[in-house]
């Protein structure tokens, strides 16, 4: 299923019969039914958009750029699919913007638009970590 961002405004006074749709699906699905909505993915990228690690909050711009880069590199669908998420803090709060790639648990600091492009092309597309920008690894 492709998210089409079909946001619907919930009714002022929800009733038992009302259904709120987000991304085209009811928000009230139980976990057992949610599993059917998830397509396989290879990696998950989290971008800190908070203002402590990056006082000018460059992470917000990087998060938007990431979507364009993933589309350009054909990483939005299929077996190499990369999910992305933004978060207000990754618990580092210095040297940002901070970007982390799972499942490897590779943490990048000081991410610029140019470095983000390298992360997408070299790490996410080609599987080679951009070593000189890594400041932490899972484990």
Point out which residues bind ligand FES (CB under 6 A): 48, 50, 52-53, 89-93, 96, 98
Minimal distance in Å, beta carbon 34 to ligand FES?
A: 28
Q: Give 75 or 98: the residue with its C-beta nearer to ligand FES.
A: 98
Minimum separation from the CB atom of position 20 to ligand FES (A)? 30
Q: Which residue's CB atom is positioned nearest to ligand FES?
A: 50
Q: How far apart are CA 94 and CA 88, in angstroms?
A: 13
Non-local (6+) Cβ contacts of 131 within 8 A are none
Q: Which is nearer to ligand FES, 54 or 130 (CB)?
A: 54
With respect to ligand FES, which residue has the nearer C-beta, 60 or 80?
60
Q: Which is nearer to ligand FES, 41 or 52 (CB)?
A: 52
> CA angle at residue 132 from 136 to 101, to 5 degrees?
45
- In the complex, the smallest distance separating the C-beta of residue 48 from ligand FES, rounded to whole angstroms, is 3
Q: Is 66 exposed, middle or buried (0-12, 13-18, 19+ CB in 10 A)?
A: buried
Residue 108 near residue 120 (C-beta atoms within 8 A): no
């Amino acid at each position: 299923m492709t998210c089409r961002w079909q946001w619907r405004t919930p009714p002022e006074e929800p009733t038992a019969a009302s259904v709120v749709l987000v991304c085209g699906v009811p928000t009230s699905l139980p976990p057992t039914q949610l599993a059917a909505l998830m397509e396989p993915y290879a990696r998950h990228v989290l971008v800190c958009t908070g203002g402590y690690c990056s006082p000018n909050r460059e992470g917000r711009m990087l998060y938007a750029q990431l979507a364009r880069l993933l589309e350009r590199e054909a990483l939005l669908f299929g077996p190499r699919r990369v999910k992305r998420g933004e978060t207000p803090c990754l618990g580092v709060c210095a040297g940002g913007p901070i970007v982390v790639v799972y499942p490897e648990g590779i943490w990048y600091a000081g991410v610029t638009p140019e470095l983000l492009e390298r992360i997408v092309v070299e790490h996410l597309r080609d599987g080679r970590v951009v070593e000189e920008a890594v400041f932490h690894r899972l484990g």
